[in-house]
């Protein structure tokens, strides 16, 4: 009975702990301007949940005048 109680408490404690760690979001920025080059940047989310890091690491497109910049991001 004692072992069952200890195992139950251990299982509950493990299931309540969220899996937080560091995630890296790698982004490639490309522009529609002739002669421009692609750049790569990385952002590290420290102590984050994977779902939160995925939500922040997304593809975005910006338009300024006639230039369009695309930021294509992937979670590592």
35 against 16, higher pLDDT: 35
d(CA 18, CA 58): 23
Token digits of residue 63: 């338009």
Beta strands in 1-55 (DSSP E): 20-31, 39-49
pTM of the entire structure?
0.67
pLDDT above 60 for 40:
yes
Give phi and psi for 56, each to the nearest 5.
-85, -25
Q: What is the pLDDT of residues 1-25, one digit of tens each?
A: 677 677 666 555 565 556 789 999 9
């Amino acid at each position: 009975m004692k072992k069952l109680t200890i195992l139950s408490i251990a299982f509950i404690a493990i299931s309540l702990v969220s899996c937080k760690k560091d995630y890296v979001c790698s982004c490639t920025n490309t522009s529609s301007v002739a002669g421009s080059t692609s750049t790569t940047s990385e952002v590290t989310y420290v102590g984050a949940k994977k779902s939160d890091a995925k939500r922040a690491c997304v593809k975005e497109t910006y338009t300024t005048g006639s230039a369009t910049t695309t930021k294509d991001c992937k979670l590592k």
